[in-house]
Structures are given as structure tokens and as C-alpha cells.
Structure 1
């Protein structure tokens, strides 16, 4: 390695000191990989170090504009990495990830012969892993342009992995790649197929038959169907998949969704008797009819999913950049939403979207329907309350708010927040205070947010005396709220003349209520002493806080407190 490092120094790629450090690190790693007790991590660490060094060299060459001695430096490092990979691969032959990493390195480094050997070894030692067959096939097909070898490997792999989605997908892609002479973008007229395309169709039909026999999965069939749709010469294979889906999965929402999507895109299904359709009106009508047909045939537990597919499809259709048949698209969506509601399968998101399609006078009726069908929907209640607020309907606000809080319970915080914001602008302080006092009696999910907010408002509206009185009431009521103490401490800090007895009480309560599980309350108390009571508080008082924390906190948390405590107080006394 000395000559290599000398070259780096001579061309001013690295300083002499840097080169010494590189040599030191390499000696360290060489010692570890040649020691009596070796482990995989030592080799991997060495490899990662050399790869990092290689990146650094390339960066410095670029920034310093040094192009000399690349063969003497970079190539030697690449060779060293290759040798390390060979050593570790031989030692840990059963480790698939190592073999793949070595192969990928050889591929990137353009070590063609080494990559071929790596592929051969992987197929010999890891044939039980379907991914290895895929990696090998893709290398032969796309790197070496030996498509026949790739297809042969995939077929051999499938004899061992009859249920591998990975290999079937790769096989189909390779067959199409071969049939289109390596051009996936080639457009093919189905009436003018070449011999290779006809052969490809025969092979694809065989694959589909094997897939149906060995995998028998609706989602995978649809995945393949959606892949093949881009290659119009595969229409017979697509038809086979659709026929299989209709025979075996006509009770699934996925099947009817893919058929309806094809209808909208103008793609022909094998059960159709008409010619391909081009007009938007006809395609949309056929798509809707297909969804409706599916809704009468799917399993009861699949119906909600199909309604969701149906409405989402119409929403997407309506948003497409096509000005033709806008009214038809909107009317179709309204009708579908109404039907889904009547069937009892309209979800929260679709209720909200329905509101965009109707006049203001109809929105309330739709929201009432939504609440009736989905009484636990936070979003629908939020929109319902917002409509009342925007119309400044005080009676309506009160009715919707109370009903929503009763229905949502611990999930009602958005309603409390919305109605408080309304009353901040529209009502007097007494009304708002009464509302806050109701809110802080709610479940913890609500009260934990409203308690700090209440005393902040109270400090502005009625002053610190009223705030301190209310704080003490809230602080001693369960469930306790840590943020209440934090907020009250901040309010005390804003006073021109500090009320230390009151402020001390805040930290005492915080430590008493949360000191058994929370380091922060103790640290906040120490920080308060340091920032505001330096020269007032004694070392004995600080030591007492330390002792109280030690008696309250679990041992591991106390160690954290102890480190912070001494770091904060070491320069005080």
C-alpha cells in the first residue's frame, strides 16, 4: 500500500499527515481480518472504509482538478475491495446479502468476469432464494443482452419456485421485452403480429395458467392485468385474466373496479359485444353500469369497498382536464353519492366532498344525514359546526356544539376549539369564562389543552389575581395537567414584580404531581431558581430539591437528573 499512498501524497491529493492516517486505519483493519478470531463485521467495516475513501478521492479530484494516476490509485482500491468481498464471500457462503452485495459491486465496477462468477456461485449456493434467480435473469437480459439465457434461467427458477410472484412477473416482463426486440415503448398493431410476438402470447398464456394454478390470488391477477394493458398485442392474455377473475372472483370489489376502470379508459372487456367506445358520455355510462352491476354481485363485506371505488372513480373523472360533459360528470357523482347514502355505505370523506356539489340550503341536510349515519365522525361534526359559525346562527351553534360534544366525548377538542374562537370574537368575558369552565371538566384529551389556554385568557381578561385563584383550583383537580404548570410559570415570569411564593407553589405542585416519572419538572425547578432566585435561594434549598428528586424518580431517571443537575449548578456556588 505504500506506493499507492505515496502517489496520493505526490500529486497532492492528500497531505502527508492524512496519508499516515489512511495507512494507520488500513493496518488496523488488516490486523482484524487476519487475526485468529475473525468476524463478518470486520470485513464489512474494512470494505465500507475503502468505499468511503474512494468517494473522498473522487470528490477531491473533482474539486482540486487532479486527474493524474487514476490507474495507480482508484483501480488499486477497487481491486482491494474486490479481494475483500471474495474473502468474505468464501468464508460466509450462506449469507445471501453478502453475495448480492459482492455481485452489485462487480456490476458497478464493470468486473464482468467476476460478476459472472458471482452469479454462478449464487445460483449454486442460493437456488432456494427466488430473488437470486431474478437478479441473474435481469443481469443476463439487460447487461449481457443474452435474453435467451435469461428466459432459460427464469423458467428453471420457476420449476423450483412455482408460487413466486417475483419470478412470474419477471418472466412476463422478459417475454414482452424479447417480443418487442428490447423496446418496451414499441406500439404494436394486434392485427400485424410478428412471429416472436405470437410466440410470446403462447408463453404468456402458459404463465397465466401456472399462476392461476399455483398462486390463485385476485390482487396479483389484477396487478398483471394492469401491467399488460400498456402492450396492446397482449389483449388475448388480458382477456384470459379477466375471464379468470369473473369465474373465480366476481364477488370481489377489486374485480369490478378494474373492469369499470377499463370501461372508462375505453378498453374492451371480453364479455362486451359492442365495439370500442370513444365518446365520454358512452364510456362514463358504461363505467357506471359496471359498478352498479358489481354492487349487486359482490359479497356483503365487499360492498363498502366497491362503493368507495365507485365514488372515487367519479371524483377523479370529474377532476380530469376535459370540459366536455362537465354537468354529466357532476350529476353522475351526485347520483352515486345519494345511492351510497341510501345503501348505508357513504364514508366520512365522501360526505365532505358531497358538500361541494350542493347549494348552501342542502348542506345542512347532508350534514344531518352524515351525523345520523356516522355519529363518531369528528370531521363531519367540525364541518357541521363551521357551517353554523359562518352563518352566525347562535342557536344553531349551541345546538350543534352540545350534540357534538355529547357524541364525541374525548374526541371533541376540535369542537371546543372552534366554539371558543367564535365566542372570543362574538361574546362577552362572562360567557367565555363559563365555556372554559365547562371545557376544563371534560375528559383529559380535551381538558389538557383547555386548562393552559383558560389561564392564559384569564390573565389577559381578568388579571393575575383571578388567574392564580383559578390555577390553584385547576391544578389540584384530576386528571392533573403538566402543561398547566408550565403555562402558569411562564405567566408568573411576565410579571413586573415577581410573586415568589405563588411561583414557588407552581413548581412544588408540578414536582408533587409529575415528579415520580418526569425529569423535566425537577430540572425546570432548578432552572427557575438559577434564573430568578439566584442570591435568594440557599444551597441547602437546592440540596433539598436534589434529595426530593432522588426519593421520587426511578433510579435510571434519577441518573439523568443528576447529570443535568450538576452541569447546571457546578459554577453557581
Structure 2
């Protein structure tokens, strides 16, 4: 092995001599580099080598290349690239090609090779690496996208980028990201043509010609049309439109190019999805996508256009699902960024609210308002300080509330946000939830107890007793919640309820006793009381709870009135009580405890 290592080190002497001769490194630094290389070579040459050994070797050489680049810049030395960087790069390439053969499924090897090529600006070599990688990993769309992006933006080869997109789509014809990337590649190619014309002093509008497939938008239209045909999704079709608008904004595409393309996508969307409510909702939302830092007036105008689209949609499709889409669109509109960032846009808020109330009322006369719409409607009314109307709408929501925990949570939160005393209504809702919600769900009982603690403190014990008749999982969870609430009221209540809960089958748990002991310590309980709590708890879970034994020992050693001598007896008792599989863990944790306490 030593002979192979020495031979490989000798091959790198030429570049090291050039580094010293150019003043990039000192003799001492050279010795350090040789020592490091020797260590890495031994790792690579050993019998049981791993992919990490190859990667460490290459990454060290790459860091050396980075340092060489900085030293060159500082000294202004721009010679001997082939003799120094070229020599290091070729050696690393050979190492990585061996690793690619031996570990073809390790993506870090491939990516490190590409990083090396980019560092040395060996773009043709990087293209070859991508080609080999795709031959083995053609099932990964993200690699196709990465390779295509490299060809377009770094290698300056738009034709190769397009070819990669087309090949990728043969493998993955239903992949959303690939179709979007293909469209963005074609838009970038068109952008480069317009930018070239700008450099030559040719106005971009003169380059938009119907007979030119690139600047005339025919290629982009073909990509968008095929994407919509292959992928059956309104949202995806809308994302194609958004892709065009982003390119228009970033690359300043001429209106004669991007606008016909955007309209073409919209026409294809309507042709395929025009009879679905999802299309019209997405179509109305797209009106607001292309606004760049709009004023309040521009937002009002854009939303009026969106409302016109939805109005025509409900006339064309007067179905219940269409009205649902209209109400959902209005509800989502109030959460849009332009609105939340500009609360001072009062006129916009007023017009939105008027339209929303109008649509909700029309839908209600047709019997199309569902629970979620009532909640949104009430929220809008409450925001406008129309509390009585909001309360009336929420009562309608309560009448159609589905038997689901989330629905009751939304309803109770909505009533809680109203001004005035809503405790009576909320109490009725809690009682209804107790009757209607599934009784075998721990989450339901947790929420019921939360509501009862907050709104009906006098009923907490009743709900708790009812929960104790349920499954073991529910008992354990509710018991901890009940004791937590009891200790938050006063210490005596906490102690009383803890003792009650502790003796209920299935209610006792390690987390319960840990919480109770922590509360007692916080209130400076006597050590005798804590010992009693530990002993009672360990009689239940002493065979399995390493944490509880360690906490008991810690308490004897650190708590006021504790007996350090008793800790040794506790260790012996724990070793006799714990199951054999927990003894190693207990010994380790006990040793750590002693080490920490002796510091």
C-alpha cells in the first residue's frame, strides 16, 4: 500500500513545485499539504474504504483550489493554470469517476463531481457528468431540471437545455415541475433573442413576428398546450399562466409576445375546464396575479374585473358548487397579501365587504351556504363591528354544524371573538359537542376538558368522571390535563385531585407523577411528602421507569432535607426492581448524574 501511496504523491509534486515557485504557498504550507494528502491517500487505498474516503479526498483538493484562487487574486498571478489547477482537477476527476463506478447510487458523488467542474469552469466536463448521471438516474425529474438549467444558464447552450426537457418529458409526461421548467426554458430562450436585439439597437416589438416560432411565441404555445393536455389540473394550468407573468416581470418581455401567450393559455384552460367551478375561481384569482405593487385604485379595478368573471360564471353555471366556489374565492380574498399589508386601504375593504355580503346573502336565499361559509360571513361581519348580525349568522352556522371536532372548535372560537357575553351560547355548544362528537377519540376529550375549564369550571369534575369511563388512552391524557388544571387553581386542590386520579385504573402515568412532583417541589413541599409520592409511583411503574428512579435519587441528593446516604440504597433497590433490559441505561444515567453533581 505504501508503494502505491508514494507513487500517487509523486505525481502531484509538479503542481506543488509550481505553487511554491509562484509564491502561492510557503515551504511549511507545502509540507502540511503533503502530509494531509498522504493521510487521505492511505484512507483511499485501504482494503475497507468507503465513499466518504473518496469524497474527503476530493473535497480537500477542492478547498485547496479555492485557496489557490484567493492567493492568485491577492498576488495578481494569472499563469500556470494547467500546471496547477488543471493537474489537481484531472486527478480529482479520475478519483470521482472511480467513485461513480463503484457507488453509482450515491448522489453526493455525482454532485461533488459537478461542483468540481463548475469550480474549474470545465463546463463540457460538467455536461458529460450530467449525461452519465441521467443514464443511471433518469427516474429523478429534479436531475433533469438541474441539468437543463445548467445547460441554459451556465453552459450557454439553449438547444441542449431544450433537448434535455424533451427527453425528460418522455420519461415523466405527467410531472408538473418538468412542464413548468420546459416552459420557463422556452421563455428564457425567447428572452435571450430579445436581449440580443436590444444590444443591436432593434426594438423588441419589431422582433415579434408570426413567422418566427420563438419570438412569435409559437414554441411556448405548443409547450403550454401539450402541458394542459397531459396534466389534468386547473391549478397546474393556472401555474403556466403565472409562469408567463413572472417571466414578463423579470425579463421585461414585450407585450406583443407575452400577452398573446397568456391569452392562449387562458383560452385553452376555458376550453378544457370551462364547465367546472374550479376553473372560474382560478380564472378570477389570476386577474390579481399580475399586479406589481398596485395602488389601492388598481386593486379595486382588478377585483372588480375578478367579480365580473365570477358573476358571469354563476350565470353560466348556476349550480351549488359554483356558488360555493364564489364564496370561497371571496373568503380567500381577505387573506391575500395586498390586503393584509395595507390595512389603510379602507375603500378597498369597504367594496370587498359589500360584495361579499351581497354574494353570501344571494347564496343563502338559494340555500347554498355551508358551514364554512357561515363562519367566513360571520368573521367579516364581526370585523365590520356588526356584532348582532355576526351572532345571527353564527347561530345559523350552529344549526348546520357537522359532527366534527374542528367544526365545533371554529364555532366556539367565532362566538368567543364576538363582543358581549356569549357564555350561554358557548355552553350550549359544549353540551352539544359532548353528545354528538365521537367518544373514543382522545383529542375530543382533551378539547372538551379545555372548553369546560375555560367556560364551565363548575362542570370540570363531571366531564372528568365521564372521561374516566372511556378507554385507557383517554383516561391517561385527561387525568394529566385535570391535575394540571387543579394545581393551577390552588395547591390543596391539586394534591386532592392528584390522589383521586392516582388510584383510578388506567389514569396513572409517569408523566402525571413527574408533573405533580415538580409542582410540589415548586411549592417547597417537605421531603417526606415527596418520598411518599415517589414510592407510590414506583410501586406502579418501578420496573420500567428509569427516569423516575433517577429523579428520586437526584431529589435525595439535591433537595432540602434529602438524605445523600439514602441515594445508595435507592440505586440498589432500582437495580433489583428494574427489568434487565433497563439496567445498562440506568447505570449510565446514574453515572452521568453523579458526574454532573460533583462538578
**Could you tell me the TM-score, scaled by structure 2's length?**
0.71
Matched, 1:568 2:579: no
Residue in structure 1 matched with residue 584 of structure 2 by the alignment? 559
Of residues 522, 531, 539 in structure 1, which corresponds to 2:568?
539
Residue in structure 2 matched with residue 336 of structure 1 by the alignment? 359
Give me the whole-angstrom Cα distance separating, in 2, the residues matched to 1:61 and 1:21. 17
Give the C-alpha shift of residue 504 in structure 1: 1.6
For structure 1, which segment, 124-133 or 502-511, has the greater mean C-alpha deviation from structure 2 after superposition? 124-133
Of residues 243, 250, 270 in structure 2, which corresponds to 1:227?
243
**CA distance 1:567–1:178, change in 2 (3 Å):** closer
**CA distance 1:486–1:120, change in 2 (3 Å):** closer
Matched, 1:448 2:503: no
Residue in structure 2 matched with residue 523 of structure 1 by the alignment? 550
**CA distance 1:181–1:105, change in 2 (3 Å):** same
Matched, 1:381 2:412: yes
**CA contact 1:515–1:522 (8 Å) conserved in 2:** yes
**CA contact 1:134–1:167 (8 Å) conserved in 2:** yes
Residue in structure 1 matched with residue 294 of structure 2 by the alignment? none
Residue in structure 1 matched with residue 92 of structure 2 by the alignment? 81
Give me the whole-angstrom Cα distance separating, in 2, the residues matched to 1:43 and 1:205. 47
Of residues 518, 521, 527 in structure 2, which corresponds to 1:490?
518
Residue in structure 2 matched with residue 274 of structure 1 by the alignment? none
Matched, 1:296 2:325: no
Give me the whole-angstrom Cα distance separating, in 2, the residues matched to 1:36 and 1:129. 33
Q: 1:193-204 alignment to 2 at 5 Å?
A: 193=209, 196=212, 200-204=216-220
Give the C-alpha shift of residue 158 in structure 1: 5.2
Give me the whole-angstrom Cα distance separating, in 2, the residues matched to 1:340 and 1:4. 79
Give the C-alpha shift of residue 106 in structure 1: 0.8
**CA contact 1:352–1:380 (8 Å) conserved in 2:** no
Q: 1:44-63 alignment to 2 at 5 Å?
A: 44-51=55-62, 57=67
**CA distance 1:439–1:82, change in 2 (3 Å):** same
Residue in structure 2 matched with residue 272 of structure 1 by the alignment? none
Give the C-alpha shift of residue 256 in structure 1: 1.7
Which stretches in structure 2 are left out of the alignment for 5+ residues? 1-11, 292-298, 468-473
Summarize deviations over 1:477-512 as a string: whole Å, max 9, x none. Answer: 24225444234323443566x544432221123323
**Could you tell me the TM-score, scaled by structure 1's length?**
0.74
Aligned residues between the structures: 536
Of residues 189, 192, 197 in structure 2, which corresponds to 1:178?
189
Residue in structure 1 matched with residue 508 of structure 2 by the alignment? 480
Which stretches in structure 1 are left out of the alignment for 5+ residues? 268-276, 424-431
Residue in structure 1 matched with residue 296 of structure 2 by the alignment? none
Give me the whole-angstrom Cα distance separating, in 1, the residues matched to 2:567 and 2:214. 93
Summarize deviations over 1:534-565 as a string: whole Å, max 9, x none. Answer: 246273344113322x24xx71x443222112
**CA contact 1:344–1:373 (8 Å) conserved in 2:** no
Give the C-alpha shift of residue 285 in structure 1: 3.6
Give me the whole-angstrom Cα distance separating, in 1, the residues matched to 2:145 and 2:63. 29
Q: 1:75-474 alignment to 2 at 5 Å?
A: 80-89=91-100, 98-119=109-130, 121=132, 134-151=145-162, 154-155=165-166, 165-181=176-192, 193=209, 196=212, 200-229=216-245, 230=248, 232=255, 233-263=257-287, 279=301, 282-290=304-312, 292-293=314-315, 296=318, 307-313=327-333, 316=336, 321=342, 322-324=345-347, 326-338=349-361, 342-347=367-372, 350=376, 353-354=379-380, 355-374=382-401, 376=405, 377-385=408-416, 387=418, 391-392=420-421, 395=424, 398-399=427-428, 401-403=430-432, 406=435, 410-411=443-444, 413=446, 417=450, 420=453, 434-438=458-462, 440-441=464-465, 442=467, 443-444=474-475, 445-459=477-491, 464=492, 468-474=495-501
